[in-house]
């Protein structure tokens, strides 16, 4: 089967001109089929403030009310996504900027109220339109996907980009050899966050369980890795957690997760 | 050759819930391949005001400065475009929301300074990526295109939706039988704007010249019709100027332009 790379990049990288530039150089070096899924970033908060949209917090969690949904649709689906596409075009990378609503690429369900917390217009992915993704890739296009989905009944949703990348990767395993690259600002999974030399180059699921129990891996890294191992269990060939400038798969840096 | 319909709808219709609803019903009734090109609308001005972006006017013309470009990229390419796509998805119409930058669908050149007036980041289309448009249509998708283009070197542009529709229609004539539908709020081209009974049902180029000389057709309608006859001259099968609720080509309402 043909290879496809699913690459997730966070909003913080996209907002930083210097980081974005090195990320895009690394991304462009990938010659095989590829899909970029990007996060949002603080620009939405900044623009929201000017529009008088204050972040709504419930039980310490950010809630996507109607106005916030409009805001992220504008900023992530419009400003961030289209600027990214224009940049890629300049590099002869034929990007096509999309959300999960476009071509019904990713359909979601509204996140149910949990412990009395209603997250508002937040969607959890339930379905990927694999045929359309394959058609776009076949046409030589590079899908550049903003963190938004829809329910198929006219409702858009704010959706977590990590989750979207995982779901996309898993959905493609019957049609492609899928490589998932989750980029962030560190070199990979570190035993000691302050020591780059403590990088874990390779991790199996049993290692993860071990690190989790001993407390070496904790807080935000746990859902990220659970998401990643789920992809591995579903048939994704490799998941790599690496720095944003190391996305070119020729490099074997970062943390590689295998079965 | 297979038929394709290129339909242009203005921002004023999209912003009006009732009008949008009848437009989309009419649009959905088209069973053949189709492309929707939409205008912007006042919502950008409203959001711009809140963001402190005042329209810049030079010699009575609106200028697209850097901030205004960001604004229309957000609002037209994000908010308006994605809401439209979500609505179409609800109607089982597989829309894919794009700008001219996506897949490099429409490449433009910055409008040159004329008579000392610099329009800023306004682009005039020079090239359509017919292969990608054909691939999207073949995949069963309905391109829904916002009034933005790019120069292929990283620069986005604000672009007139009427022009984009004309350019798209003309570019497709070697691959499809192209039908262009320019919708607006009147029943078609009227001899007397206050009298719906004065509709001109059919118009040839010589009629247009005649109406122009006699002053029956004037002001904003002239460039619209020139644009339309240019499409006819380039091989577009038919151009129809009609009300937004009459876009279904089964209806023969509006003004039909022929060679």
Q: Distance between CA atoms of B215 and A258, rounded to whole angstroms?
A: 75
Task: Grade residue B256 by pLDDT with cuts at 50, 70 and 90.
Answer: very high
CB atoms < 10 A from the CB of A15, how many? 16
User: What pLDDT is attached to residue A233?
Assistant: 96
Task: Give the C-alpha separation, B162 to B216, whole Å.
Answer: 22
B22 C-beta neighbours (distance < 10 Å), count: 16
Q: What does pLDDT average to over chain B?
A: 94
The CA distance from A129 to B174, in Å, is 31
**Cβ <8 Å between A152 and B90:** yes
Q: Rounded to whole angstroms, how far apart are CA atoms B144 and A77? A: 14
Among B102, B110, B139, B155, most A C-beta atoms within 10 A, so best to mutate, is: B102
Contacts of residue A25, defined as CB under 8 A and 6 or more positions apart, other chains included, come to: A245
Q: How far apart are the C-alpha atoms of B56 and A142, rounded to whole Å?
A: 36
- In this predicted model, what pLDDT tens digit does every residue of B153-199 receive, in sequence order? 999 999 999 999 999 999 999 999 999 999 998 999 999 989 989 99
pTM, rounded to two decimals: 0.96
The DSSP call for residue A64 is: B
Cβ contact, residue pair A156, B94, below 8 Å: no
Residue linked to tokens 């400065």: B65
Q: Do A98 and A144 touch, CB atoms closer than 8 A?
A: yes
Q: Which fold has domain A3-184?
A: Carbamate kinase (3.40.1160)
pLDDT for position B259: 78
Distance from CA of A40 to the nearest CA of B (A): 13
What region, left, alpha or beta, does residue A212 occupy, with left being phi > 0 and alpha being psi -120 to 50 degrees?
A: alpha
- Among A101, A136, A152, the residue with its CB nearest the CB of B82 is A101
Find, in chain B, the residue whose alpha carbon is nearest to that of A75.
B74
Distances, alpha carbon A211 to alpha carbons A162, A197, B246, in Å:
21, 17, 64
| Backbone torsions φ then ψ of B114, nearest 5 degrees | -120, 130
* B202-203/B33-38 β-pairing: unpaired
Query: Hey, are the CB atoms on B89 and A154 less than 8 Å from each other?
Result: yes
Tokens (6 digits) for B242? 């009609």
Residue tagged 């009575």 (tokens) = B60
Q: What is the pLDDT of residue A190?
A: 93
Q: At what angle do helices B130-138 and B161-171 cross, to 10 degrees?
A: 80
Measured in angstroms, the CA of A162 and the nearest CA of chain B are apart by 21
Chain B CA closest to residue A91? B153
- How would residue B56 be classed by pLDDT, with cut points 50, 70 and 90? confident
Test the A interface: residue of B46, B84, B101 with most A CBs within 10 Å: B101
Closest CA to A178 of A236, A117, A123, A229: A236
Q: What is the mean pLDDT of residues B78-84?
A: 97
Contact A73, B83 (CB under 8 A): yes
End-to-end CA distance of chain B: 19
Query: Which chain B residues have a beta carbon less than 8 Å from that of A95?
Result: 102-103
Q: Where would I find the H helices in chain A? A: 11-15, 17-28, 43-50, 66-74, 81-90, 130-138, 161-171, 205-214, 221-233
3-state secondary structure of B233: helix
User: How is B50-118 classified by DSSP, letter by letter?
Assistant: HTT-PPEEETTEEEB-HHHHHHHHHIIIIIIHHHHHHHHHHTT--EEEE-TTGGG-EEEEEPPPBTTB-
pLDDT, position B57? 78
- For A206, the 3-state DSSP assignment is helix
DSSP B14-63: HTSHHHHHHHHHHHHT--SEEEEEE---THHHHHHHHTT-PPEEETTEEE
The domain ranges of chain B are 3-184
Distance (Å, whole) CA A150 – CA A158: 9
- Most confidently modeled range among A168-172, A224-228, B248-252, B253-257: A168-172
Determine which helix (DSSP H) or strand (DSSP E) holds A111, and give its type and residue range.
none
B84 → chain A, closest CA residue:
A154
Give the gap in angstroms from C-alpha B213 to the nearest C-alpha of chain A.
Answer: 44
- The predicted structure's pLDDT at residue B42: 85
CB contact (8 A) between residue A83 and residue B155: no
Q: What does residue A65 show for φ and ψ, rounded to 5 degrees?
A: -85, 180
Residues of B in contact with A76 (CB under 8 A): 78
Q: Which residues of B touch A (CB under 8 A)?
A: 47, 50-52, 70, 73-79, 81-83, 85-87, 89-90, 94-99, 101-104, 131-132, 135-136, 138-139, 141, 148, 150, 152-156
Name the nearest CA neighbour of B33 among B164, B140, B169, B161: B140
**Rounded distance between C-alpha atoms, residue B181 and residue B35, angstroms:** 10
> Is there a contact between B78 and A83 if contact means CB atoms under 8 Å apart?
no
Residue B225 pLDDT exceeds 90: yes
Among A74, A87, A141, whose Cβ lies nearest the Cβ of B79? A74
Q: Which of A98, A142, A104 is nearest to A126 (CA)?
A: A104
Per-residue pLDDT tens digits for B128-147: 999 999 999 999 999 999 99
Token output for A222: 């746990």
Kindly give the confidence (pLDDT) of every residue in chain A, 259 residues in length, as a single tens digit, with 9 standing for 90 and above.
999 999 999 989 999 999 999 999 999 999 999 999 999 878 898 999 999 998 887 777 779 999 999 999 999 999 999 999 999 999 999 999 999 999 999 999 999 998 888 999 999 999 999 999 999 999 999 999 999 999 999 999 999 999 999 999 999 999 999 999 999 989 999 999 899 899 999 999 999 999 999 999 988 889 889 999 999 999 999 999 999 999 887 777 899 998 7
What integer is the mean pLDDT of B74-103?
98
């Amino acid at each position: 089967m043909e290879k496809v790379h699913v690459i997730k990049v966070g909003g913080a990288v996209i907002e930083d001109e210097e980081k974005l530039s090195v990320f895009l150089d690394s991304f462009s070096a990938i010659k095989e089929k590829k899909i970029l899924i990007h996060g949002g970033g603080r620009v939405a908060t900044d623009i929201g403030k000017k529009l008088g949209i204050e972040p709504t917090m419930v039980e310490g969690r950010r809630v996507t009310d109607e106005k916030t949904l409009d805001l992220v649709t504008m900023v992530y689906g419009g400003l961030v996504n289209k600027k990214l596409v224009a940049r890629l075009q300049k590099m002869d990378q034929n990007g096509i900027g999309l959300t999960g609503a476009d071509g019904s690429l990713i359909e979601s369900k509204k996140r149910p109220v949990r412990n009395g917390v209603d997250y508002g217009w937040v969607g959890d992915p339930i379905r990927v339109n694999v045929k359309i993704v394959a058609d776009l890739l076949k046409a030589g296009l590079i899908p550049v996907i903003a963190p938004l989905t829809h329910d198929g009944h006219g409702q858009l949703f704010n959706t977590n980009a990590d989750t979207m990348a995982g779901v996309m990767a898993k959905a493609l395993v019957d049609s492609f050899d899928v490589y998932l690259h989750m980029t962030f600002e560190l070199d990979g999974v570190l035993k000691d966050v302050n020591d780059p030399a403590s990088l874990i180059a390779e991790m199996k699921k049993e290692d993860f369980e071990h690190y989790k129990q001993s407390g070496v891996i904790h807080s935000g890294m746990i859902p990220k890795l659970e998401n990643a191992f789920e992809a591995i269990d579903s048939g994704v060939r490799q998941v790599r957690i690496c720095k944003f400038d190391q996305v070119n798969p020729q490099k074997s840096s970062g943390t590689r997760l295998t079965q």
